Structure 1
Amino acid sequence: MSTEILKQVIVDTEAGFIEFARNNYQQHRNPVISVVSSGCLICVIWKDTLFVANVGDSRVILGSHKGKFKRLHIDQVVRDHNCQNWDIQNEIIESHPNDHRRLVEVNGKWRVRGLSEISRCIGNAYMKNKEPFTDASNFEAPLGHRVSLDFEEPFLSAEPEVYSRVLKDTEKFIIFGSGGFWKKITIKEAAYIVNTRPRNGIAKRLVMLAQAVAALERRKRYNDILQAPKSSHVSGRRVVADDGSRTDFHDDMTVIVVYLDKMPNGGVRPQIRSYRGHSNTVRSSDFRNLDDM
């Protein structure tokens, strides 16, 4: 295992998806695939070494106990590529110095061309490749995903941030979370909960807390989220949102917590407590797993 292997995995994933989107667009089977995107976070623990590759706004948080009093220390292992971060904004400005619309603020959030909150992702082919996704005279992106055709350089990238480190005895847990989760819960809040609460069901606890925050922001009750229609749906070339749907409260959330317990022989044995709040489809999540539990 190496960081180069993880880089290549994401390169191959992006190439495969772009080809899939191109075939669907050219053959008029499902042209909306050209505006579908996702973050991609890959983590491997190999021979006591943590390897991470990230593209998008997911985060990896490493919790450690340090010092005489074993105080909690928190590290964000790799950057998230959210346009609210100053360093990401500077990258976009430097890559498109002559485009005054490279960053547009929409509802208090900075977005690439007013469309994407993240600068790197898998997919969103129409913002990376003019041909064939925007040169065609009949191109019509779904409402909320439209971009003018006057760009020469790709607006988005699939280049991952990669990282590796040897795990130490002082490092106690890792939290992996998708962007939808970190929009509602801070790094410190998540780390404190994992450090102080029982392990059983910890990832579900984090997701439920994030949903409670989402409800509070909308001045709703937690049960209002659970009773809301579960997702938007895709109709033709347009993304149609149900009134008061779950996606109006929060984005899809995936959380995995790994505890780093020492084995007698000195190796690292991850104890995984994972909870998935999405379904493996090209459509929006219907969050069925949470209701089942």
Structure 2
Amino acid sequence: MLSGLMNFLRSCFRPRSDRYVHTGSDSGGRQDGLLWYKDLGQHLVGEFSMAVVQANALIEDHSQIESGCLNLHESGPYGTFVGIYDGHGGPETSRYVVDNLFQHLKLSISEHQSLSVDVVRKAYQATEEGFLSIVTKLWPTKPQIAAVGSCCLAGIISAGTLYIANLGDSRAVLGRAVKATAEVLAIQLSTEHNASIESIRQELRSMHPDDPQIVVLKHNVWRVKGIIQVSRSIGDVYLKKAEFNREPLYAKFRLREPFRRPILSAEPSISVHQLQPHDRFIIFASDGLWEHIGNQEAVDIVQNHPRNGIARRLVKAALQEAAKKREMRYSDLKKIDRGVRRHFHDDITVIVVFLDSNLVSRASLTKPPNISIKAGGINLRPNTLAPYSANGAT
């Protein structure tokens, strides 16, 4: 535990020169200003494309793709893991998740000798508990970390089965071909937890029947307790554990009244899908993409353009729409620096995973190479936490 804490502290509070981390034989991304991208790579059952654009002063999106062995003993099962982690209040939680969730999944698979919904759930639980232990250790000296959290979307493809697990409002969308019409339809795979959704507000009210202020419409935006839009996350400990809703946490975070049960949850929504030969690709993205582009529009872009650079093309389409909303040119938006850029759009992360039906349908006869690519910002000044902004609370 102590070594894990020290590694986390070093990653959070020591400046490092590498903003993006890439390991494995398929690494090699490129950077263009605030944009990082990996135009095309190979995973176990197809190809992938990946792109990230920064808007915040400190990027709060982290992401990864892992392909190869899914347990600690290198004996199978084999598959591909995709993670999108959209932080809020700072980058510390999303960075913790990118460093730990996949490792917890491999440990859970090793312990149970299989992949299942329960195994995925346990990996999420272990990640939440691990971050809680970090917050507890840091509470006396860095209490504001209790107000940092992250959405957490993961997809696992193994033996023709796709698992989707989600906390928050990142989204996974499948592109499925319709044989009769040759169309490719968008099918949303993830369940979102955002107070802007009526069913989520009803869920919160049913769970907190004695709290008429559990969801509040503030500046035309529904927020949990008037603070945050997402109802489930990793972190945000001050809204889960009453002992962290007090000084020395800044007064602007603290709730005026005590609470007896957790306000936010870390219980993921998990679904299982048997992949079909006409399933073409899956788009995984943080809500920075989806606030500008609809599901079908995104699927049409992927279907109608070359695979090479397709994640970067989706990011560009979102930025063009963001510029249009502000009645400005895309070329001018690109000139705006990080921090100020957050007034125009959020950090945006996109990973497009293509599915080769021939590879999906047959088990790997030989041990595949392990591929690991992580993307996200790690430029922090020593002994600082990222400044909180209400806009950052997803």
TM tier relative to shorter chain? 0.7 to 0.9
Aligned partner of 1:49 in structure 2 is 161
Give, as a single letter, the amino acid of the residue that structure 2 aligns with 1:17: F
Distance 1:214 1:72 in 2: 26
The alignment's TM-score, normalised by the length of structure 1, stands at 0.82
**Post-superposition offset of 1:118:** 0.5
Shift of 1:56: 1.0
Structure 2 unaligned runs (5+)? 1-114, 365-372, 380-384, 388-394
Name the counterpart of 2:222: 110
Conserved? CA contact 1:260–1:268, under 8 Å: no
Letter in 2 for 1:58: S
Residue matched to 2:38: none
Deviations for 1:224-272, whole angstroms, at most 9, x for unmatched residues?
Answer: 33222313xxxxxxxxxxxxx1221222211110111233794389xxx
How many Å separate the matches in 1 of 2:322 and 2:258?
Answer: 37
Q: Classify the secondary structure of the residue corresponding to 2:355.
A: strand
Partners of 2:334 and 2:148 in 1: how far apart?
Answer: 25
Structure-2 change in CA distance of 1:21 and 1:10 (3 Å) = same
- The within-5 A match list for 1:1-293 is 1-25=115-139, 27-28=140-141, 30-131=142-243, 133-136=244-247, 138-141=248-251, 143=252, 145-231=253-339, 245-263=340-358, 266-267=361-362, 278-280=376-378, 283=386
Alpha-carbon separation, structure 1, partners of 2:304 and 2:156: 25
In structure 1, what is the equivalent of residue 109 of structure 2? none
Give the distance between the partners of 1:84 and 1:207, measured in 2 at CA.
24
- Which 10-residue stretch deviates more, 145-154 or 38-47? 145-154
* Contact residue 18 and residue 123 of structure 1 kept, 8 A: yes
Matched to 2:175, the amino acid is G
Tell me the distance in 1 between the aligned counterparts of 2:318 and 2:149: 23
In 1: Cα distance, 2:255 partner to 2:345 partner: 24
1:196 and 1:34, CA in 2 relative to 1: closer, same or farther beyond 3 A? Answer: same
The whole-number CA distance in structure 2 between the counterparts of 1:191 and 1:199 is 12
Report the alpha carbon displacement of residue 186 of structure 1 after superposing the two structures with TM: 1.0
Contact 1:252 1:278 in 2 (8 A): no
Displacement of 1:208: 1.3
How far 1:283 moved relative to its partner?
Answer: 4.2
Q: Specify whether residues 185 and 147 from structure 1 end up closer, same or farther in structure 2 by C-alpha distance, changes over 3 A only.
A: farther
1:272 corresponding residue in structure 2: none
Equivalent position amino acid for 2:120 in 1: L
Residue identity matched to 1:258? V
In structure 2, distance between residues paired with 1:229 and 1:186: 26
Normalised TM-score (structure 2): 0.62
1:252/1:277 contact within 8 Å kept: no
**Change over 3 Å in CA distance of 1:268–1:222 after alignment to 2:** farther
Question: Are residues 225 and 36 of structure 1, via their aligned partners in 2, closer, same or farther at CA, if it must alter by over 3 Å?
Answer: farther
Separation in 2, partners of 1:98, 1:205:
47
Unaligned 5+ runs, structure 1 = 232-244, 270-274, 285-293
Separation in 2 of the partners of 1:102 and 1:246? 31
Find the aligned partners of 2:361 and 2:123 in 1 and give their Cα distance.
Answer: 30
SS at structure 1 position matched to 2:128: helix
Decide whether aligned partners of structure 1 residues 101 and 57 sit closer, same or farther in structure 2, where only a CA change above 3 A counts.
Answer: same
C-alpha displacement at 1:55, in angstroms? 0.8
User: How large is the RMSD of aligned CA atoms in angstroms?
Assistant: 2.4
Secondary structure in structure 2 of the residue aligned to 1:10: helix
**Does structure 2 conserve the Cα–Cα contact (< 8 Å) formed by 1:254 and 1:278?**
no
Provide the rounded CA distance (Å) in 2 between the counterparts of 1:119 and 1:162: 16
Distance 1:277 1:46, change over 3 A: closer
Q: Tell me which residue corresponds to 1:235.
A: none
- CA, structure 1 residues 113+264, in 2 after alignment: closer, same or farther (shift >3 Å)? closer
After superposition, the Cα gap between the structure-2 partners of 1:228 and 1:146, relative to the gap in structure 1 and judged at 3 Å, is: farther
The amino acid across from 2:327 in the alignment is R
For 2:284 and 2:360, the matched residues in 1 are separated by 26
User: What is the match of residue 288 of structure 1?
Assistant: none
Q: What's the counterpart of residue 74 of structure 2? A: none
